[in-house]
Structure 1
């Protein structure tokens, strides 16, 4: 510039144009991350939080190609070396069924496809080495990465989990303890993806296979000869309440839109 030369740190990449010509593109290192908008997509507060903490947006967004107008579902990440925001079409990312010797379950693959993190995943490499980490799709990796800063040994992970549970139980009381218990109870009734977790019995009465299927499908399950608090045999209906995040007891069939009666009983 003006006959003077300056040294700038940058990352270089190759770019192919429409005619097949390849050019070298510099990506200069930015001091700060600009997280207001990217390709006309405005980031929410939660988006910015995810990008700062993990470097990944944590969800799939629709990006409009400025030249063709095509809407492209894409992942967004921050280049950790340059602080530049980057993206990749979701169609170009492969979600593996296995990493090393560790199977990635269907539920975990679905989470990864949605851009969500799979936390505290125990990974065993082909050489037998094991560690716990967070998995997530990253643009630079063009696939699933081990999120930096989340790796730890299985023993360390177990110790931290135990210490964390102990600290919470000691530090929280009253309203906070009640809230924690409520959330833990909610988690016992649902899977990580929010789907209804199967149960096999209620108040000592076992479910048939059909009743198990109906419950998971969100339908009411009729139970007969259930012993109530007074020791009498009664008929009741059990159905998962999505608003409360747990099963509720009903005196009449809730699928017929009749009166609701919440239950204080526990699953066995």
Structure 2
């Protein structure tokens, strides 16, 4: 490659040196400021203690360095929030975030644009400006995520839950009669929940002998100490449906109670239950075991709520709602992936903790109601025209009643006139057309069926 003989090698070396220095220097962001009253652009240098801004014009050489901001997103949001709230009159300014290396060029181009722009065009520049509302929302999200991560890391060496029972306390002879042993329960991820005092998280297949009959079924298991301190194995069989006909500790289920228990698994209110040992009335909540349909009651005094639920600190009103057994809608919770989400939550007496109501039954019910509303809408409306021809009132009335109506004066794509019979299918909301009367066709079919009655197929 030939080189330019007139090129200054010292100058070329100096330019390369500057280029390498630029490449090696970490890039930073900076701010351009638009004075809303004068429509002038400046490069921000710093902010004074009295809340005023030091800046320089785009076409001026500046001795003081311009503002440099770390390009990390979380660094900018924190900086801009602090910067904005130090300003004396922030509403007088509009700020734009750009990289420092293109700051002067962009500032000059922006000033040239503003000098010839209309008021509307200048106002539209705010779409590209830094929004304090967006920054504050991002900052709040970052703070919530930090608090959530810190709350998860508190006391990392303490076990989440101590075991209530030991494997040695379990009567393995009884377990063997159910075709279960310690290794099988471990394999099914059922042993640890049992030792912690919970039911098995899934249905466990068991088999046992009743005289000469061998019975197999899927059940949930739990462990409980009896009155003499012996650890019993409790079997929770699957019921076809909850038993609403029998009173539960004196409580008679209302229609709303049944609906809530079937749809969400939680009854949704506090009721007084009769203690079978003392006959005292005990405020309690009731839930349905979704795996077995067993109804479970828990004293309201035993309801334990977390201080923070997925990054959201529960206030007194929210705690009161949950302690009353009612569902609660919470916004701006943080998932394990760090994304914001909203959800309905409710305390579950069977699980003994606040659960998220991501329930397929609820979604199914919503879809069912939507479908029913759509069906009702379809059934209520018969279109006023068919293939471009307006229908008479008497025709619409017959169609609404589910009858067939004669129609003439129809025109096909070739301009040829034709006529026929129409009916309206309420289930799918569509017309059905036939050149012959369907009623007469039906009578003909009926006669043919009668004739073939004597023949076997």
Corresponding residue of 1:73: 283
- Specify which of 77, 89, 110 is matched with residue 299 of structure 2: 89
Deviations 1:179-219 (Å, cap 9, x if unpaired)?
xxxxxxxxxxxxxxxxxxxxxxxxxxxxxxxxxxxxxxxxx
For 2:269 and 2:277, how far apart are their aligned partners in 1? 24
SS in 2 for 1:52: helix
Corresponding residue of 1:6: 215
Structure 2, unpaired ranges of 5+:
1-209, 361-369, 378-457
Q: Indicate if the aligned counterparts of 1:62 and 1:72 stay in contact, CA closer than 8 A.
A: yes
Report the alpha carbon displacement of residue 20 of structure 1 after superposing the two structures with TM. Answer: 2.2
- Specify which of 225, 248, 265 is matched with residue 16 of structure 1: 225
For 1:129 and 1:20, how far apart are their aligned partners in 2? 47
Report the alpha carbon displacement of residue 14 of structure 1 after superposing the two structures with TM. Answer: 0.9
Within 5 Å, give how 1:131-146 maps onto structure 2: 131-146=341-356
Corresponding residue of 1:130: 340
Deviations 1:17-41 (Å, cap 9, x if unpaired)?
2232210000000111222332221
Does structure 1 residue 46 correspond to structure 2 residue 256?
Answer: yes
Corresponding residue of 1:110: 320
- Specify which of 26, 34, 54 is matched with residue 243 of structure 2: 34
For 1:90 and 1:130, how far apart are their aligned partners in 2? 31
The alignment's TM-score, normalised by the length of structure 1, stands at: 0.53
More RCO (CA 8 Å, sep 6+): 1
For 1:148 and 1:30, how far apart are their aligned partners in 2? 23
Within 5 Å, give how 1:74-223 maps onto structure 2: 74-119=284-329, 121-125=331-335, 127-149=337-359
For 1:62 and 1:106, how far apart are their aligned partners in 2? 23
C-alpha root-mean-square deviation of aligned residues, in Å? Answer: 2.7
Structure exhibiting the larger radius of gyration computed from Cα positions: 2
Report the alpha carbon displacement of residue 127 of structure 1 after superposing the two structures with TM. Answer: 4.7
Structure 1, unpaired ranges of 5+:
151-163, 172-268
For 2:336 and 2:218, how far apart are their aligned partners in 1? 37
Report how many aligned residue pairs link the two structures: 156
Change (3 A) 1:132 1:31: same
The alignment's TM-score, normalised by the length of structure 2, stands at: 0.32
Higher helix share: 2
Report the alpha carbon displacement of residue 9 of structure 1 after superposing the two structures with TM. Answer: 1.1
Change (3 A) 1:85 1:5: same
Report the alpha carbon displacement of residue 71 of structure 1 after superposing the two structures with TM. Answer: 2.2
List structure 1 runs of 4+ shifted beyond 4 angstroms: none
Report the alpha carbon displacement of residue 65 of structure 1 after superposing the two structures with TM. Answer: 1.4
Higher strand share: 1
Change (3 A) 1:139 1:22: same
The range that moved more, 115-124 or 68-77, is: 115-124
For 2:315 and 2:344, how far apart are their aligned partners in 1? 14
Deviations 1:137-157 (Å, cap 9, x if unpaired)?
10122121112328xxxxxxx
Q: Indicate if the aligned counterparts of 1:29 and 1:81 stay in contact, CA closer than 8 A.
A: yes
